[in-house]
Amino acid sequence: MKPIRQLAFVVNEQKEGAPALARELVALARTAGVALKQTTRFPLPKGWLHGCDACCVIGGDGTLLGVACESAREQVPIIGVNRGSLGFLTTFSADEARAQFLELLEGQFRVDHRAMLECSTGTGPHDLALNDVLIKDEVNSRLVRLEVFADGELVTDYTCDGLIFSTPTGSTAYNLSAGGPIMHPAAGVIAMTPICPHTLSNRSIIFRENVRLRVFNRSPTARLLVAMDGQRNLQVGAQSPVEISVAQLRLPLAQRADYSHFSVVRTKLKWSGGFVDKR
């Protein structure tokens, strides 16, 4: 990658150690002669990243999700530094960021382009999601009947607490908690996972990348909530379908040259196949 000459910082002040780490990295960037802009507010407004070569996000995965749409629109790579808990997206630790930051500024990283979902609800504007689109009733405790079509063909109708439509990147988030599959980020698919379905045979369905999905509300008294990455809600008309597809835009995510997705999954999910004899 080309060297970074203009760098944006997005810092989550609520995360322990994030402001102090930001000061350290800002000092390194200034020493290297990099032009800077900073904010502690997210989601970012449209245009805020215009002209930047990269954006350093210091916080957790939720912080990065608040930057993802603007990053995708402007095609500005995100350098995610984890000061949260799991950190599937913010893959640089604080120590790694300190040690490698000058190299990152010199362009010594690779960019992984992550698929996003595009969602619309009738005549309203389209929105983007990096992790998932959640469709459920506005009342948490109420079941909802949802009818799903793929490219105009009926898939099935669900009586459930909701449906999760996940990208491969988001497969380790809400989708995984609801019993859905883990998918490699490069897989060109969408996973649809029902939440607490009332038919035991209803399980996740995997759709190809160019599928066009439509979801209809078949509960006469229910109003739907459509949540994008758990951060933004879309309004749904009573008769309007929710339309979901893979977006043309992709999120540019900066990674170390030796980044391994499965190493991250093993570490974050504490996988271990080793047998420990405690006798």
Catalytic residues: 61
Q: Write the burial class of residue 100 (CB in 10 Å: 0-12 exposed, 13-18 middle, 19+ buried).
A: middle
Alpha helices in 52-151 (DSSP H): 61-74, 94-105
Read off the amino acid at residue 15. K
Please report the sign of the dihedral spanned by the C-alpha atoms of residue 221, residue 205, residue 232, residue 244. Answer: negative
Q: How many whole angstroms separate alpha carbon 269 and alpha carbon 183?
A: 14
Strands annotated E in 69-204: 78-82, 110-121, 127-129, 132-137, 144-150, 153-160, 162-166, 189-195
Rounded distance, CA 107 to CA 77, Å?
11
Task: Report how far residue 265's alpha carbon sits from residue 144's, in angstroms, rounded to the nearest whole number.
Answer: 33
DSSP string across 14-37? TSTTHHHHHHHHHHHHHHTT-EEE
Q: What are phi and psi of 175, to 5 degrees?
A: -55, -45
Q: Decide if 48 contacts 71 (C-beta within 8 A).
A: no
